[in-house]
Structure 1
Amino acid sequence: MTETARAGDEDATGESFVPSLGVVPAVVAMAAVLVPVRGGVEDPFVQLAGALAVVSVVAFLTRRHGVLAPASGAVLAAGSSLGVVLLTGYALNQGITGSTAVPGLDGTVSLLFLAFAAAGGSIGVAAADYGGVSARGLIERTLRFSTMAGVGFAGLIAMAIVSIVLAPLLGFDGVQGQLLQYLSTALGLGAVAAITMAFRGYDLSFLDLEVPSLRTVGWTVGGLVLLFGALIVISIAMTAVGVDTADHGTTQQVEQNPELLVVIVPGMLLVVGPFEELLYRNVIQKSLYETFSRYGAVVVTSVIFAGVHVSAYATAGPGQILASLAVLFGLSLVLGFIYERTENLVVPALVHGAYNAIQMLLLVV
């Protein structure tokens, strides 16, 4: 963990605060899984998730009372919570939601999705406990995560606003619709990146732009290999366990109208890769370095990156969307690692753009 990331950690309000806080999402996850189990859900993955949720609660409680050492207790809590995330995610993908009616409201709530989200929070708290983060440090990290998540979703909103403004000039269909999409991406994400930098007092020196060199070429080629390698591994794993993913909206458009590749391929290389990496890596991930460890910032940025792409898979079911976001999370980890290693925006921008372009071209081969 970097020195900056540890700033403020010495002002702890007590060693037991962080594991005490972890009990809350762990209990929520446990209850959210055990209610459908007691209600008759006999799926073994859900039942195993319930057992692991209980282990997570016990781990946090034993850490809270000093029975387990920080390292062993935090690892047990994180590992069992990760198991809950994976198992409930799998159940959701298979159409098991554990839905229940909410008194006074129309509709239902998926208890398994609630367990999935709560267990994800437990992992974050356990990681903080393992790293020796104090109460103050945890609050600072939570606030920074929330702020940067807001920046990420502001980019999505800005793109929508630009799209609405320019739609009367270009329309939503065909080649002009693709041009509208890429103009919205460039103007929306670019504007949010510029506003965030100005608000935080950063000048142009904050941008990690270097003249391409042999090192840049090497990292770009290696990054593409890493990215496609990660995709293959994730895809094989998901296929092996029968997890279905959703198609990206752009993928569906290419399959229906391959001629759009004339616009989509350069759009991926010149707009999507550069501007998404500008906001999510150079602005969000780099800003998170000030509070999180560098690798922690990569993980947190990937959570945000995956979350803002929900709308791209909106035509699929919730389980398929969740699986697709898991794939995006894994690929974002690779891009974040590349940026952290090179500290050069050009490299992840090229890797991201080329990866997307190649993916689109493979659809028509």
Structure 2
Amino acid sequence: METPARDRRTDRDAAPLRSTLVAIGLTIFGVIVAPNVTTLPAFLFDPALLNAPAEASIAGRTALLTLNFVGMILAGAIYLIVTDRGWSYVDLRMPSKRGWMYVGAGIASMIVFYILVNVVVTVLSLPSAENEVMRYIENDQMMVLIMIGIVFFFNAPAEEFLFRNIVQKRLYDAFSQTQAIVIASAIFALIHFASYAFSSTSLLATSVPIMTVFGGALIFGYLYAKSENLLVPIAAHATFNGIQFALFYIALEYDLEEAAPTGEAILAAVPL
């Protein structure tokens, strides 16, 4: 008796190697391929983004950073359509009281985690590279404020949709939830390598923010796994990054050099 097509697909999806390769392919498509297409209008609008991004217009930089995350959403949407999973696959609903408690716990966990990371980096005098996205923001206060909006409406929703609801959930077919969280977080962190290597002076300087990204991804992945609700990690992610950018703005506004978060702490979860 012939196995139904849906069952055959389920059998293939449950293969660990296949699932991992699909996760890697989705990541490359969502972070590199699709954004390179969706950001083209920004480069055409303001060619200065290519060679002198910090001197480009605010409109051009805003368009580039926004369209970058639109590319991620597009990649996830294409996957849902091609695989016939449909939008019912997306675990998006208003969080329950317990869900909001997970959001609060996630924000608190991220704050504690980043404080510990900064303490370790400072005590051990570890070098740390900046994310390439700093080329588009630098110390421009208006861009910092704009990034708060981008984080809430594009960055957090796009990353959590692609890496938690698509990549991590796809890995559930072949791995336990814990294994899927670790694998998805590792892929998410490693895809940032080029962003940090751009301004890095050594492999160690690149590795420090990569490990930081990995730790943060574990927290967001755990929030999604426990709540089974995409809005929970989105809310925690957006709030945490929004707080970071707000603190950075305050530090710039009042010239508080010592209070300004380091580039890697502000932008660890913002790939470009």
Question: Is 1:316 aligned with 2:200?
Answer: yes
Q: How far apart, CA to CA, are the structure 2 residues paired with 1:160 and 1:359?
A: 27
Asked if structure 2 preserves the Cα contact closer than 8 Å seen for 1:254 and 1:360, the reply is: no
In structure 2, what is the equivalent of residue 167 of structure 1? Answer: 43
In structure 2, what is the equivalent of residue 228 of structure 1? Answer: 111
Give the TM-score, by structure 2 length: 0.77
Unaligned runs of 5+ in 2: 1-9, 50-55, 252-272
Give the alignment partner of residue 131 of structure 2, picking from 243, 248, 268. 248
Greater RCO, CA 8 A, separation 6+? 2
- Write the mapping of 1:69-88 to structure 2, written as runs, cut at 5 A: none
Measure how far apart 1:170 and its partner are. 4.9
Partner letter of residue 206 of structure 1? Y
Asked if structure 2 preserves the Cα contact closer than 8 Å seen for 1:255 and 1:363, the reply is: no
Unaligned runs of 5+ in 1: 1-6, 9-135
In structure 2, what is the equivalent of residue 204 of structure 1? Answer: 87
Asked if structure 2 preserves the Cα contact closer than 8 Å seen for 1:160 and 1:184, the reply is: no
Q: How far apart, CA to CA, are the structure 2 residues paired with 1:147 and 1:304?
A: 11
Q: How far apart, CA to CA, are the structure 1 residues paired with 2:61 and 2:156?
A: 15
Using the TM superposition, name which of 287-296 and 152-161 deviates more.
152-161
Partner letter of residue 139 of structure 2? Q
Q: Percent identity, aligned pairs only?
A: 23
Using the TM superposition, name which of 171-180 and 280-289 deviates more.
171-180
Change (3 A) 1:355 1:177: farther
Change (3 A) 1:141 1:363: same
Asked if structure 2 preserves the Cα contact closer than 8 Å seen for 1:254 and 1:363, the reply is: no
Change (3 A) 1:342 1:295: same
Measure how far apart 1:169 and its partner are. 2.6
Measure how far apart 1:253 and its partner are. 4.5
Q: Superposition RMSD on alpha carbons, in Å?
A: 2.3
Q: How far apart, CA to CA, are the structure 2 residues paired with 1:265 and 1:174?
A: 18
Question: Is 1:143 aligned with 2:18?
Answer: yes
Question: Is 1:176 aligned with 2:52?
Answer: no
- SS of the aligned residue for 1:218 comes to helix
Measure how far apart 1:287 and its partner are. 0.5
Superimposed CA distance per residue, residues 290-334 of structure 1 (whole angstroms, 9 cap, x where no aligned partner): 101100000000011112222332222232112110110011101
Superimposed CA distance per residue, residues 54-95 of structure 1 (whole angstroms, 9 cap, x where no aligned partner): xxxxxxxxxxxxxxxxxxxxxxxxxxxxxxxxxxxxxxxxxx
In structure 2, what is the equivalent of residue 53 of structure 1? Answer: none
Measure how far apart 1:187 and its partner are. 2.5
Measure how far apart 1:251 and its partner are. 4.2
In structure 1, what is the equivalent of residue 34 of structure 2? Answer: 158
- Structure with max Cα Rg: 1
- SS of the aligned residue for 2:75 comes to helix
Give the TM-score, by structure 1 length: 0.59
Q: How far apart, CA to CA, are the structure 2 residues paired with 1:343 and 1:354?
A: 19
- How many residue pairs match? The answer is 231
Give the alignment partner of residue 329 of structure 1, picking from 214, 217, 235. 214
- SS of the aligned residue for 2:125 comes to coil
Measure how far apart 1:165 and its partner are. 3.8
Q: How far apart, CA to CA, are the structure 1 residues paired with 2:145 and 2:209?
A: 26
Change (3 A) 1:184 1:152: same
In structure 2, what is the equivalent of residue 89 of structure 1? Answer: none
Measure how far apart 1:140 and its partner are. 2.9
